């Protein structure tokens, strides 16, 4: 085998050492660690959750930007995104989907208002968890930076709260499949047109049938809407007047999502 040259090996080792030293000081100065107030808010939020499978076990240590499901904005290190979607989402093409693992991976419990400290939160996904019919918290209406809210299939109960109308920056709102066990009609959607930037709305599984065409008048007032999902909403037929509404462009996709 080759000659062993101690000077050469020492040289290589020193270079590696120098590299790691430089790399770590670079990381310390350039990668923002998270804002301490937001870190504490996340820990308080975690305390009130149940998490049998330990999905939030990485939520320890100083830099909350490295915690699972958390993404910080580059600039100031504020928490911008919380993706706490159940990783074992059922899907039709997943042949090996395992319901036990799915349920074991539910987050549940209570949703602590400490989230209000996350002033830059744009994206919140709590879908496919099990909150045992608690109501969607009132304070969600104060998460003013939200552009994306996904509470799909998370067993929230009660009616859709009107204060969601305060989330004027929302682009995506997915509230589908929440009333599986006690279907609750979403009686009054008059708050919806406040969401003037809403591009995507999913109310699948909500009982809108009892409203007559009331839902259509409301949805038609959403100027930015491109995609509407109303599967299993108890809508029997579409009104003839649909052609006179602004939804005409979306007619085909609307039909396909209703039926
Ligand atoms: C919400 O999350 C579910 C999975 O949990 C996903 O299927 C759905 O597409 C998401 N909705 C939006 C608007 O991204
Ligand atoms: C909605 O916004 C208004 C005006 O900013 C505020 O007074 C009200 O408390 C908010 N409601 C909720 C539930 O956040
Ligand atoms: C719906 O709610 C709004 C405000 O919350 C109220 O002004 C309106 O009268 C309600 N409409 C119905 C049909 O209950
Ligand atoms: C369609 O939208 C335009 C503005 O984008 C509005 O002026 C008009 O009244 C709307 N039509 C109906 C039927 O709501």
Task: With a cut of 90, say whether residue 228 has pLDDT above it.
Answer: no
Sketch the domain layout of the chain as residue ranges.
Answer: 35-257
Q: Is the CB of 150 under 6 A from ligand 1?
A: yes
Span 14-29, mean pLDDT? Answer: 58
Of all ligands present, the nearest one to the C-alpha of 216 is 4
Are 221 and 193 in contact by the 8 Å Cβ rule? The answer is: yes
| pLDDT value of position 29 | 44
| pLDDT value of position 145 | 97
200-202 vs 227-229, strand pairing mode: parallel
Q: Is the CB of 238 under 6 A from ligand 1?
A: no
Are 186 and 208 in contact by the 8 Å Cβ rule? The answer is: yes
Q: Is the CB of 211 under 6 A from ligand 1?
A: no
Strand, coil or helix: what is 104? helix
Are 170 and 195 in contact by the 8 Å Cβ rule? The answer is: yes
Report domain 35-257's class.
alpha beta
Cα(150) to centroid(ligand 1), Å:
6
Q: What does the pLDDT look like over 196-215, one tens digit per residue?
A: 999 999 988 887 777 666 77
Instruction: Give the number of residues written for the chain.
Output: 259
Task: With a cut of 60, say whether residue 217 has pLDDT above it.
Answer: yes
Q: What pTM does this model have?
A: 0.81
- Ligand 1 atom nearest to CA at 85: 5
Integer Cα distance of 32 and 20 in angstroms: 19
């Amino acid at each position: 085998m080759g000659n062993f040259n101690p000077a050469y090996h020492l040289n290589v080792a020193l270079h590696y050492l120098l590299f790691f030293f430089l790399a770590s000081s670079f990381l310390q100065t350039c990668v923002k660690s998270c804002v301490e107030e937001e870190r504490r808010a996340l820990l308080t939020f975690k305390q009130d959750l149940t998490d049998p499978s330990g999905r939030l076990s990485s939520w320890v240590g100083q830099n909350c930007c490295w915690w699972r499901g958390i993404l910080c904005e580059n600039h100031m290190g504020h928490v911008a995104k919380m993706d706490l979607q159940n990783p074992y989402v059922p899907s039709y093409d997943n042949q090996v989907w395992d319901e036990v693992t799915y349920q074991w991976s539910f987050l549940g419990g209570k949703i602590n208002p400490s989230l209000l400290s996350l002033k830059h939160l744009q994206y919140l996904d709590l879908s496919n968890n099990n909150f045992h019919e608690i109501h969607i918290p009132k304070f969600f209406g104060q998460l003013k930076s939200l552009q994306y809210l996904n509470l799909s299939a998370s067993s929230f109960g009660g009616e859709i709260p009107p204060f969601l109308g305060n989330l004027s920056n929302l682009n995506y709102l997915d509230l589908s499949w929440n009333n599986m066990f006690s279907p609750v009609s979403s009686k009054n959607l008059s708050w919806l047109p406040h969401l003037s930037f809403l591009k995507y709305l999913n109310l699948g599984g909500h009982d809108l049938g009892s409203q007559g065409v009331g839902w259509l008048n409301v949805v038609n007032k959403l100027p930015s809407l491109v995609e509407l999902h109303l599967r299993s909403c108890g809508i029997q037929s579409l009104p003839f007047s649909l052609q006179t509404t602004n939804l005409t462009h979306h007619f085909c996709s609307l039909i396909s999502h209703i039926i």
